[in-house]
Amino acid sequence: MRRTARQVLEANDRGDHTVASPHVYPYQWLWDSGFIALGWATIDGARAWRELETVLRGQAPDGFVPHVLAHRAPGRRFPDPDLWGRPGDPATSGITQPPVLASVALRLLEHARGAGAQSRRQGEAAALRLWPSLMAFHRWLHRERDPLGLGLVVSVHPWETGMDDSPAWDSPLAAVAPRAGPGPPELPGPTADRPGAAAYPRYLGLVDELRAAGYQSSALAVRGSFRVADAGTNAVMARADADLALLGRRLGAGTGDIEEAQGWARRSAEALSTLWDDDAGHFLSHDLVTGRALRPATSASFLGLWSGAASPSQVQRLAAHVEGWARGWHPVPSSDPEAASFDPRGFWRGSVWVNVNWMIAQGLGEHGEGALAQRMAADSRALLQGAGMREHFHARSGEGLGATDFSWTAALARWWLGME
């Protein structure tokens, strides 16, 4: 398994970036690259930093970082760069993804500092090069995606959450005008492992809306037809803001930048608490169009553990839910197993994802739930040993689903699960 994980990363390496999967996803994805960089750190520290530097190559002057960069991709795979109408070198999408980069950069720096003097110097130099871009990205998120000053980042397309086909999006997506005409080309792989075809006209309708608005994020965050305060994205944001401030202190960055990041961290943590539903015992996403909490609870609900902002009582209730969802299922299913919409093999509708498991387990360990975190790691390791480096996994049988040779699975096998 150690050899396989390394082989997948090396096969998917394109020199300065890593494709998510050569057969299905031949581009570079934003949050994928964060997890992938952690895997590279176990092989080649310089290559890990280059992964982050390359994904930030697509950053716009205003700080926006796109969720997809299409570097020299052979052929076309939906959604290809033409969909977004944003030509460039590389061509990019017009939406973003959960901001894991600052948290990854902090971990890479800590890893480099433990690997000897030369690695430490190289890591500090690389982190200093990234610092202005990371600050600009966070400024953009807080300015353009929180125009009302609520402290919550607004997602304007389900794809921005990273959990594309989550049942939490069924209700807000139903209010979106679908694109007329034929749907997208069929993606490789079993259709049951992919997002539901019925959602695609609405996904594409949103792309049309975003393009027509010229990707004016602050306006879309106020008036767009899909506006969600995603529990997962905002938990990642709270952790990323705090990690950005800590990274700045470690690097000796300017006082003004550090104080700005600390202010974001306080506001993000406070705002995340507004997504807590005490009756459900979960953080729940909110539809900002209707003002309603979005059910069912999903694996994003547990990322409050990763945020560092959950209270002790919230940690206890979330840990109990992790235990409950694991009864009869591999932890953590991506949707509540008791919900009518639950599908144990469905794409973000019940199947298990290693990247989310890692964040949940890290949060559990940091909050004193080490035994449960270790059980999650052991189960995740067993999934990979049984099915290989797959995109996601059947929540009951452990069958590998979706793309094969999936980069973030291989990366976290090495960084988290000890397959290095």
pLDDT tens by residue, 120-158: 999 999 999 999 999 999 999 999 999 999 999 999 999
The residue with tokens 């500090």 is 124
The CATH number of whichever domain residue 32 belongs to comes to 1.50.10.10
> Taking a C-beta distance cutoff of 8 angstroms, is the pair 5, 18 a contact?
no
pTM for the complete prediction?
0.96
Pick the catalytic residue from 287, 343, 391, 405: 391
> What 8-state DSSP symbol labels residue 215?
T
Pick the catalytic residue from 16, 53, 110, 164: 164
What one-character-per-residue DSSP string does 299-341 give?
GGGGGHHHHT---HHHHHHHHHHHHHHTTTS-S-BSB-TTSTT
Q: Would you state the pLDDT for residue 334?
A: 98
Q: Would you state the pLDDT for residue 198?
A: 79
Q: Is 124 a catalytic residue?
A: no
Is 267 part of a structural domain of the chain? yes
> Taking a C-beta distance cutoff of 8 angstroms, is the pair 332, 325 a contact?
yes
Q: Would you state the pLDDT for residue 164?
A: 96
> Taking a C-beta distance cutoff of 8 angstroms, is the pair 305, 316 a contact?
no
Pairing label, strands 292-293, 286-287: antiparallel
Domain count, the chain: 1
Is 65 part of a structural domain of the chain? yes
Q: Would you state the pLDDT for residue 159?
A: 97
Q: Is 144 a catalytic residue?
A: no
232: containing domain: 2-415
Is 185 part of a structural domain of the chain? yes
Q: Would you state the pLDDT for residue 81?
A: 77
> Taking a C-beta distance cutoff of 8 angstroms, is the pair 221, 145 a contact?
yes
Q: Which long-range contacts (CB under 8 A, 24 or more apart) does 384-387 make?
A: 384/1, 384/354, 384/409, 384/413, 384/417, 384/419, 385/1
Is 69 part of a structural domain of the chain? yes
Strand partners, 292: 287
Is 353 part of a structural domain of the chain? yes
Is 420 part of a structural domain of the chain? no
Residues of the chain under the 50 pLDDT cut: none
> What 8-state DSSP symbol labels residue 67?
S
